[in-house]
Structure 1
Amino acid sequence: AEAEAGLAAERARVADLAGQSRTLKDLLDRVEGEVATAKRSADEAKAAEQREAKATQDRFAAAGIRDPAKLAPKVKFVDARGDVPRPVSGRMLRGFGQPDGNGGMTRGISLATRAKAVVSSPADGWVQFAGPFRSYGRLLIINAGDGYYLLLAGMDQISVEVGQFVLAGEPVGNMGEGSAVQPVMSGDGSDPILYVEFKKDGGSIDPEPWWAKSPSEKVRG
């Protein structure tokens, strides 16, 4: 019953975050603020006496906040450059830094996938947001540590919960039958489209140098 109540509180908090945020950047800023607050609270709890630490953890649990320091990535994301697995197999529709059709430049990439494709986490990390968000369909934000955040949008279903620690390559959701994020993608809407964005300290970075090479790419050098 306590676990179910905790999950319900997490989902309510995620819905509240989505409702308060006007843009994707605004949402990420709020998520980063929560992470920083939770980390400071966790550090204070470790330095306190055992009784006070337990009371603090109980308060965190009641508020639906998970301790972001309880697990750590096996490999730091910054050291995984060139070895990050792609979240899904797909055809590139639009790359990073290209005109977005609205007078700006793309801050992520768009991949056309097969229907019902399984989406996996590109890295070890903590789930900071999981749920619907404006024109992005179902959005997943993974905190990979050291200021890196990985955004995956356009899924039909998300199979992980906020606060959960996921591993690189672990399934986190499924695509649907068609595109759920047409306003921010390119394509005719006939194929499901996964939008992927990497962020470092609030700024978008090109994910291309991070992907692991396929066997054929390694042969070509």
Structure 2
Amino acid sequence: MLRALCLSLCLAGPAVAQSDAASMADRAAQALSRAAESLEAAESSRDRVAALTRTVQAYEDGLSALRAGLRRAREDEARITARLDAERDQLGRLLGALQVMGGAPEVSLLLHPEGPVNTARAGILMADLTPALAARLEALTTDLRNIASLRAVQQSAEADLADGLSQIQTARAALSKAVADRVDRPDRVAEDETAMDRLASDARSLRDFAANLPAGPAATEAADFLRAKGSLDLPVAGRVRLGFGDRDAAGITRPGWVIDTAPGALVTAPWPGTIRYRGPLLDYGNVMLLEPAEGYLLVLAGLDVVYGAPGQIVGADAPLGLMPSAQTAAPDEARDEAGAGQTAPQRLYVELRSDDGPVDPADWFTVQEE
């Protein structure tokens, strides 16, 4: 009986390797610390808008990495716990047998009731099994230590996450104020804002609005913009949820991308352009229409806060606005962000249009592989 039990436990395999969740969380915490230093430095920067934009992006990168480390720690703990639960009966019997052996005199353990031959065989068996038992017990000890370590990582990461979320809100508020207070405002061309607002209120669709948009001066030549095809960064940190022409849960297809973002994520210009419109449009929430070159229009829809004004010319990486924040989300979503390391995503709709109609963003933007 003991032999079968020991063999089955030995065949169960060694403990899983130590997770790298701790190193991921540590690197993310260091990134958040550097972002905090950047936030302090941005206060004295000559171009506070640019400095704060970089700071917010640094916080977003750090928080994303921290969530990944926290998620990895929870997955590793769940995997180890599930395996130990599956072996619970065998481990209990092993520990019980070892307790009996530990409490019995050594002489009695070496004797077999059927005589010296069987005593010798039992001794050989025990000699063979002892190293395997020791290895299995060491693996079990390692598993238990890993669980304790992973729980400590989670506690530390959750504290860092809560602090990082507080700090990024401060950085976002500072950025919004810097945009509003900036003295060296970007160049701006004349734009009939009243006519644009009327056009937006009368529009029956995004296509209708874009088609009736009057021509305006572009920030760059079309040829320059065409040379950037395939190399543009996404306007927001996130994951492409729906591609060009994909059908959503309601069966609706749209000629653009739907990108999952963290609440409050910063939206920036992927290319220099002229703001043609910014404000509410249909059921898209706040919309930013950026003209990167003559004959092209970039539509960014679903924002909560939008920066700039119609006719304003902005540079690449300039802040355009913020996605809805955790404060405007449902209470359980906000609690999920601070407590579980998982965020209920906001969704940015991205559509790139040419004079011929919508084009596939996949031909223009680069997407980092996860």
- Flag whether TM exceeds 0.5 (same fold): yes
What SS does structure 2 have at the residue aligned with 1:19?
helix
1:18 aligns with 2:18: no
Structure 1 CA distance for aligned equivalents of residues 317 and 296 of structure 2? 17
Q: Note if contact 2:222-2:295 (Cα within 8 Å) is conserved in structure 1.
A: no
1:81-92 to 2 correspondences below 5 Å: 81-92=229-240
**Which position in structure 2 is the counterpart of 1:165?**
313
Structure 1, unaligned stretches of length 5 or more? 1-5, 39-67, 181-188
1:126 aligns with 2:274: yes
Structure 1 CA distance for aligned equivalents of residues 295 and 222 of structure 2? 16
Aligned-CA RMSD value = 2.8
1:157-214 alpha-carbon deviations (Å, 9 max, x no partner): 1011100111221111001126x9xxxxxxxx94211100011114111111211354
Q: Which amino acid in 2 is paired with 1:209? A: D
**Which position in structure 2 is the counterpart of 1:195?**
349
Q: Which amino acid in 2 is paired with 1:79? A: R
1:136 aligns with 2:284: yes
For residue 98 of structure 1, the aligned residue among 239, 246, 267 is 246
Q: Which amino acid in 2 is paired with 1:192? A: Q
Q: Which amino acid in 2 is paired with 1:14? A: M
Q: Which amino acid in 1 is paired with 2:239? A: R
1:80 aligns with 2:262: no
1:207 aligns with 2:361: yes
1 or 2, which has the higher strand percentage?
1
1 or 2, which has the higher helix percentage?
2
Structure 1 residue 92 displacement after superposition: 1.9
Q: Which amino acid in 2 is paired with 1:22? A: R
Q: Note if contact 1:158-1:173 (Cα within 8 Å) is conserved in structure 2.
A: yes
Structure 1 residue 27 displacement after superposition: 0.6
Q: Note if contact 2:220-2:292 (Cα within 8 Å) is conserved in structure 1.
A: no
Q: Which has the larger radius of gyration?
A: 2
Structure 1 CA distance for aligned equivalents of residues 247 and 347 of structure 2? 18
What SS does structure 1 have at the residue aligned with 2:262?
coil
1:36-64 alpha-carbon deviations (Å, 9 max, x no partner): xx5xxxxxxxxxxxxxxxxxxxxxxxxxx
Q: Which amino acid in 2 is paired with 1:23? A: S
Structure 2, unaligned stretches of length 5 or more? 1-187, 329-342
Structure 2 CA distance for aligned equivalents of residues 119 and 205 of structure 1? 20
| TM-score w.r.t. length of structure 1 | 0.67
Q: Note if contact 2:296-2:353 (Cα within 8 Å) is conserved in structure 1.
A: yes
Structure 1 CA distance for aligned equivalents of residues 348 and 356 of structure 2? 21
Task: Give aligned pairs, total.
Answer: 167
1:114 aligns with 2:262: yes
Q: Note if contact 2:234-2:367 (Cα within 8 Å) is conserved in structure 1.
A: no
| TM-score w.r.t. length of structure 2 | 0.41
Q: Note if contact 2:221-2:294 (Cα within 8 Å) is conserved in structure 1.
A: no
Identical columns (%): 32
Q: Which amino acid in 2 is paired with 1:151? A: V
Q: Which moved more, 1:110-119 or 1:200-209?
A: 200-209
Structure 1 residue 20 displacement after superposition: 1.6
Structure 1 pair 176/102, CA: closer, same or farther in 2 (3 Å)? closer
Q: Which amino acid in 2 is paired with 1:19? A: S
Structure 1 residue 10 displacement after superposition: 4.7
Q: Which one scores higher on RCO, CA 8 angstroms, separation ≥ 6? A: 1
**Which position in structure 1 is the counterpart of 2:97?**
none
Structure 1 residue 74 displacement after superposition: 10
